[in-house]
Amino acid sequence: MAVAYLEINLRLTPNDPWREIMVAQMGLLGFESFVDTPEGFKAYIPQSQFRENDFLQIDVFDIQGLEIKWQSQIIPPENWNRRWEQNFSPIRVGDRCVVRADFHPPEKAAYELVITPKMSFGTGHHQTTQMMISFLLEVDCKDKRVLDMGTGTGVLAILAEKRGANSILAVDNDPWCVENTKENIGLNQCEYISAELDDSVPTNKKFDLVLANINRNVLLEQIGVYGQILTPSGDLLLSGFYVEDMGIIQNACEAEGFRFIRNFEQNEWVAAHFIQL
């Protein structure tokens, strides 16, 4: 069943540098996406996961000279598409990829991804999605078996197929996301993606490429399993964590036999590329 989300609209005075710091701290509480505003930002979390006491204990609330005003509202699932239609503009990643909704006119690009969100994370607006797309435009996907954990809208799985992958499993623990992924698979006329509802990593298959844009805690729980299901020299692309978490993520990967290749950083967020030895 689809879940309702809570939108927290925060106004910070002064805005910088506290906006980025507060976004990082709220990310640790389970907030899934953030949209900058002139006076601060809006943050989104499943309503059932919001804990007001934990939120109010964020360190930034105690900063002297910083004024924080916030208000919240519940966004029913049926209103999510309308809200995104009001704010969603096409996104270009580099010079080869564009992400647009089905209500936008076509745009010329080597890879055009048609993504219409339905209470799902992954429109291309968030920095982590953009960095994962950038990595996917670099790695060899030709004839690869791909696992997309926490697929959201299916945007990364769809790009993997357009880049030549011929077997893609897109997994999410939210039925709404799985439904949305299936719809986006159809919009992009993909043939090799299957979307499944699950909250664990499938261990009965082998993959050449694993994509996981989730969050630090889930990644740390699952990195060992990624090592078990990846083929030798397989690629692991991770995001959903902050610059300050890069060390712990890299150490966990190297402990499981991965070799660090490189990482991208964008507004305190990080995406990293590892290879299975």
Decide if 90 contacts 74 (C-beta within 8 A). no
How confident is the model at residue 260, as a pLDDT?
98
Decide if 171 contacts 152 (C-beta within 8 A). no
| pLDDT greater than 60 at residue 128 | yes
| pLDDT greater than 90 at residue 112 | yes
How confident is the model at residue 1, as a pLDDT?
47
What SS3 state is found at 266?
strand
How confident is the model at residue 176, as a pLDDT?
79
Of all residues in the chain, the percent with pLDDT exceeding 90 is: 64
Class of the domain covering 5-75: alpha beta
Tokens of 176: 């709404």
State the average pLDDT for the chain. Answer: 90
Q: Output DSSP code: residue 140.
A: -
**pLDDT tens-place string over residues 237-253:** 999 988 989 999 999 99
Write the CATH number of the domain with boundaries 120-276.
Answer: 3.40.50.150
How confident is the model at residue 119, as a pLDDT?
57
| pLDDT greater than 90 at residue 31 | no
Torsion of CA 208, 213, 218, 222, to 10 degrees: 0
Decide if 146 contacts 157 (C-beta within 8 A). yes
Name the residue with higher pLDDT: 56 or 267.
Answer: 56
Decide if 41 contacts 34 (C-beta within 8 A). yes
Candidate from 1-5, 71-75, 79-83, 104-108 with smallest mean pLDDT: 79-83
pTM: 0.76
Are domains 5-75 and 120-276 of this chain identical in fold? Answer: no
| Domain residue spans of the chain | 5-75, 120-276
